[in-house]
Structure 1
Amino acid sequence: MKLELIAFSLCCLNLYVDCDWKHDRRGHQRSWQSRDSANEITSRRRSDPPDHTKLIPMARYVLHSADWASLATISNLPAIEGFPFTNVKSVVDGSLANSTGVPYFYMSPLDFSARDLTKNSRATVLVSLEETKFCEQNNYDPEDPRCTRLMLSGKMKKVKEGSDEYKFAKAALFERHPAMANWPTDHDWFIAKMKIALIAMVDWFGGAKYIPVRDYLAYNYTGTEMLEYYNHLQHKHVIV
């Protein structure tokens, strides 16, 4: 009788463990499915760029799609004074739904670039289509001319604090780069923008293209697909 009770108990324990294991396995499957969904969202690319023959729409698209830029200045460091010096800077050209074509930066006097600009305001901003998923998904190397890169050259200037433009630019910067709101308050942050003098773009085979600044700035590009892209990421709920 005792042997029968022991055998019965072992059988029940085995069933419990088996059921519990299957439950956990199903739970892991759900977790992996959630991760797959998350990966699908994070890899979801922004809307495809315009046709490469549409130079101005492409130029505006590339800048508006960029979260960061390479900012080249004339160095003020004693060891390399007068040398070109480049730095990574967070950038916007307006709010997600309102592109201006003008690059805006949130800067501190403590930064390399800001120090250089106090002596020489000339600079070049470089942004690339590589920042989107487009080049990667088409197997384009970052240096491939089909992976469009845009170079804006001109003079940097401060945006007057408290002006309508300042409020617009600050709101746009904090919208795209929310971490800025928590940056140290004792760094004397200011907003700078570029007054563009030259626009060069490598946008396909055949060498660089040059775009008239007036036509570039006049182009009516709202950039609303960026707003849709970010709204999709914010409102899509994933259970992990």
Structure 2
Amino acid sequence: MKWAALLFACLCFLNSYAECKWKHYEKRGENRENWRETANEMPTKHYPRQDPPDHTKLIPMARYVLHNADWVSLATISILPAIEGFPFSNVKSVVDGSLANSTGVPYFYMSPLDFSARDLTKNNRATVMVSLEETRYCENHKMDPEDPRCTRLMLSGKMKKLKEATPEYTFAKAALFERHPAMADFPPDHDWFVAKLKIAQIAMIDWFGGAKYIPVRDYLAYNYTGTEMLQYHNRHIQRALFP
């Protein structure tokens, strides 16, 4: 009975402590999720980005979706013996420029050891697919990723390896390392290189009524800085420095 009473008292104390902590954070204008984060639990809060353009603005929407993506699905033609000639999809980290300077061109940091890079040595044709769901916009608006209103952008073209020491190479590599800092610690013996997709066709699903096709020249010429990504990352930094 003594052990049972002691256990009951401990449980009551822990429950009271948790309630006090929760009220303490409420008084500071914070919620229970903040307390959980400080307790080293997995953070579940997603910091919202600026909302995307209206769906009728095709080019701004296309540029927004790519610039706000951290990764894409990259489809190539496989050279693996068991599935040679089959389409093969892989996840690749991506940028289309620096946080404050969007170009609309997908850039990649690749190794010859990777599935995609090996495929591209034989056939450099590829398709990049990216979804608006990466920003959590669709989830927050109760839309399934396959919902036509959850924009999907598909860029098809030929992959090109950039020459080192060129202005474009320097710009693209700096942008990749800015958005993906872990790349600086990738194994140095993997012969990393920077590649870009030279776009031949742009298809997009962003509303009911089927796919829309965007002229590549108009897409690339559109003056879009993508400053919402810079603001988004600045909020993350401020959150880390001033929790």
Query: Is TM > 0.5 for Structure 1 vs Structure 2?
Result: yes
Q: How many angstroms does 1:22 deviate by?
A: 7.3
- Measure, in 1, the Cα distance between the counterparts of 2:187 and 2:24: 41
Q: Aligned residue for 1:222?
A: 225
The C-alpha deviation readout for 1:167-193, integer Å capped at 9, x for no partner, is: 111111111111111110000000010
**How much is the aligned-residue C-alpha RMSD, in angstroms?**
2.4
- Measure, in 1, the Cα distance between the counterparts of 2:207 and 2:124: 31
- Measure, in 2, the Cα distance between the counterparts of 1:35 and 1:162: 50
Q: Aligned residue for 2:140?
A: 137
Q: Does 1:151 align with 2:158?
A: no
> Structure 1 counterpart of 2:195, which letter?
A
**SS of match in other structure, 2:168:** helix
Q: Does 1:114 align with 2:117?
A: yes
Larger CA deviation: 228-237 vs 55-64 = 228-237
Provide TM-score, normalisation by structure 1. 0.86
Query: What does 1:183-202 align with in structure 2 at a 5 Å threshold?
Result: 183-202=186-205
Contact 1:128 1:148 in 2 (8 A): yes
Provide TM-score, normalisation by structure 2. 0.85
- Measure, in 2, the Cα distance between the counterparts of 1:62 and 1:217: 14
- Measure, in 1, the Cα distance between the counterparts of 2:162 and 2:196: 7
Q: How many angstroms does 1:36 deviate by?
A: 3.0
- Measure, in 1, the Cα distance between the counterparts of 2:31 and 2:166: 45
* Greater Rg by CA: 1
Q: Percent identity?
A: 73
Q: How many angstroms does 1:34 deviate by?
A: 6.6
Partner of residue 162 from structure 1, selected from 161, 165, 188: 165
- Measure, in 1, the Cα distance between the counterparts of 2:76 and 2:129: 12
The C-alpha deviation readout for 1:149-206, integer Å capped at 9, x for no partner, is: 0000000000111111111111111111111111100000000100000000001000
1:213/1:28 Cα in 2 relative to 1: closer, same or farther (>3 Å)? Answer: same
Q: Aligned residue for 2:83?
A: 80
> Structure 2 counterpart of 1:161, which letter?
E
- Measure, in 2, the Cα distance between the counterparts of 1:134 and 1:97: 21
1:23/1:198 Cα in 2 relative to 1: closer, same or farther (>3 Å)? Answer: closer
